[in-house]
Amino acid sequence: MTSAALPHVEAGHGPRSPGLSYQDLLDADTRPAPEVLRLQAARELPVVRVPIERYTSQAFHELEVEKIWKKVWQFACREDDVPEPGDHETYEIAGMSLLIVRGADRRLRAFHNTCLHRGRALKDHAGRSGELRCPFHGWTWNLEGELQELPCRWDFPHVERERYALPQVQVGVWGGFVFINMDPDCEPLESYLGDLPRHFTRWPLEKRFKEAHVAKIMPCNWKANQEAFMEAYHVVGTHPQLLKGIGDANSQYDAWDNFSRAITANMTPSPHLPDGASEQEQLDSLLSASLDGDPPMRVPEDMTARAFLGQVTRMQLQASVPSVGELTDAELQDSFYYSLFPNFHPWGAYNRIVYRFRPFENRVDRALMEVLYLSPYRGRKPENAKTTWLDIDEPWTNADELGSLANIFAQDSFNLGRVQDGLRGAQHSHVTFANYQETKIRHFHTLLDRHLGA
């Protein structure tokens, strides 16, 4: 489906938290802010409540399979997961399996990962092979999906080579991400993304390598899972240790056609704290929570914590980011969390985080949450990290590669099983969203409604 424009509302619409706005913080930066951070796109969104059954009903999940997962562009793997001819990756979504293959002609193709003989999955996992051979009886296709051979050819006079090419799905690439779409009539990825690539021109994600990739099964619906990562409203309740150095309620929320954005500043005290916090306290709150055992740092007398952290991060990135001298303090410490409908969440600037959320297997009450760290590098590209799998009961802190951010994910995850329990047993009918701070979630549900034809 094409993306009709959503109604636009002038910047500054509606009540915001008292105190500094994010734009005020940009005014005080040591460098001029890029145009993309000056954009403000508050939206008039119709959805303020959605029925609880969206998170609990298996029938609603089935509807999503038909109207969302079989219809939308979705991030399947990284381009450099399949760099050479014969390299393949699998992507599982709601009980369906797809195979992304780099052909002998170096082109990327995606096929339904199902043998046309009696249905076995052609590949069980990623790898490299010269052909696509089914392990059951040995039917074999070439990397372009043409049927090459099958044992006892004489027994299949009715199997014409042309009719038994592997069914393909659409493939597109942006930012080093390979997207697939199962709908043969879908709009091109380019138009679906809209302006999103323009937002990332200063932070090219194709020039990164996968430093970490952790996948965890979560005890909740995939939407409840991702919604916990689409607002800073929960910081005061869930991560109170961060308040001295995070502008949670000063966050800016924007929505465009198929994507939205939140910006949360670091090194500014939360408006929830009546007495604010000193520059050093702001820094300490972040360092104790987010850096890995680094020695304590002192904010120099004549500097703000914000300018200081900008300077420190600038120095850390010097070896890997050629343009680091132009980056604002904002880009070197704030959180820019983008969401492309339905489930892809690349972070802007150099935060490195990318999230993906999807239903686990075919269950309405299980999700698969993945965290990728995409890091810049200079010179020879480092090897991509292997995926670490965490079961439903395994904590994020088991994945060493996440560093101390794992503690933050643990706090986030603490609520989610109990959210699903609460929704399952609820005697009221709807969940309710904030007008401004839950803009991104409302935007998501507005698009969901549109896809469902509601």
Closest CB 115 distance from ligand FES, rounded Å: 3
Q: Which is nearer to ligand FES, 39 or 159 (CB)?
A: 159
| 37 Cβ contact partners less than 8 Å away, ≥ 6 residues apart | 26, 263, 328, 330, 331, 336
Closest CB 151 distance from ligand FES, rounded Å: 8
Q: Which is nearer to Fe ion, 81 or 412 (CB)?
A: 412
Q: Which is nearer to ligand FES, 116 or 277 (CB)?
A: 116
Long-range Cβ contacts of 401-405 (<8 Å, 24+ apart): 401/211, 401/212, 401/214, 401/373, 402/212, 402/214, 402/371, 402/373, 403/292, 404/289, 404/290, 404/291, 404/292, 405/290
Label residue 14 left, alpha or beta by phi (over 0 means left) and psi (-120 to 50 means alpha): left
Q: Which is nearer to Fe ion, 31 or 234 (CB)?
A: 234
Indicate the angle between helix axes 279-290 and 405-425, nearest 10 degrees.
80
Which letter does DSSP use for residue 319 in this model? T
- From the CB of residue 454, how many other CB atoms can be counted at a distance below 10 Å? 10
* String marking each residue 87-116 x if it binds ligand FES according to CB under 6 A: ----------------------------x-
Q: Which is nearer to ligand FES, 107 or 118 (CB)?
A: 118
By CB under 5 A, tell whether 334 contacts Fe ion.
no
* String marking each residue 114-143 x if it binds ligand FES according to CB under 6 A: -x-xxxx-------------x-xxxx----
Q: Which is nearer to Fe ion, 235 or 267 (CB)?
A: 235
Q: Which is nearer to Fe ion, 221 or 304 (CB)?
A: 221
Q: Pick from ligand FES, Fe ion, none: which does 137 bind, CB < 5 to 8 A by kind?
A: ligand FES
By CB under 5 A, tell whether 412 contacts Fe ion.
yes
Q: Which is nearer to ligand FES, 136 or 414 (CB)?
A: 136
Closest CB 150 distance from ligand FES, rounded Å: 7
Residue 181's H or E segment, with its range, is strand 177-181
* Segment interacting with Fe ion (CB under 5 A) among 2-10, 50-58, 407-415, 439-447: 407-415
Q: Pick from Fe ion, ligand FES, none: which does 133 bind, CB < 5 to 8 A by kind?
A: none
**Cis amide bond preceding 342, omega within 30:** yes
Q: Pick from Fe ion, ligand FES, none: which does 156 bind, CB < 5 to 8 A by kind?
A: none
Closest CB 148 distance from ligand FES, rounded Å: 12
Closest CB 133 distance from ligand FES, rounded Å: 8
Q: CB–CB of 140/101 below 8 Å? A: no
Q: Which is nearer to ligand FES, 153 or 380 (CB)?
A: 153
Burial readout 111-137 (b: 16 or more C-beta within 10 A, e: otherwise): bbbbbbeeeebbbeebeeeeebbbeee
Closest CB 131 distance from ligand FES, rounded Å: 13
Report helix, strand or coil for 392.
coil
Q: How far apart are CA 226 and CA 339, in angstroms?
A: 10
Q: Is 187 exposed, middle or buried (0-12, 13-18, 19+ CB in 10 A)?
A: middle
Count of residues that bind ligand FES according to CB under 6 A: 10
By CB under 6 A, tell whether 224 contacts ligand FES.
no
Tokens for 197? 């690539």
Signed CA dihedral, 171, 173, 177, 179: sign only: negative
Phi, psi of 351 (to 5 degrees): -70, -25
* Segment interacting with Fe ion (CB under 5 A) among 90-98, 254-262, 266-274, 411-419: 411-419
Q: How far apart are CA 224 and CA 439, in angstroms?
A: 15
Give the residue among 180, 168, 119 at the shortest CA–CA distance from 143. Answer: 168
Q: Pick from Fe ion, ligand FES, none: which does 412 bind, CB < 5 to 8 A by kind?
A: Fe ion
Q: Pick from Fe ion, ligand FES, none: which does 118 bind, CB < 5 to 8 A by kind?
A: ligand FES
Q: Which residues bind ligand FES (CB under 6 A)?
A: 115, 117-120, 134, 136-139
Q: Which residues bind Fe ion (CB under 5 A)?
A: 412
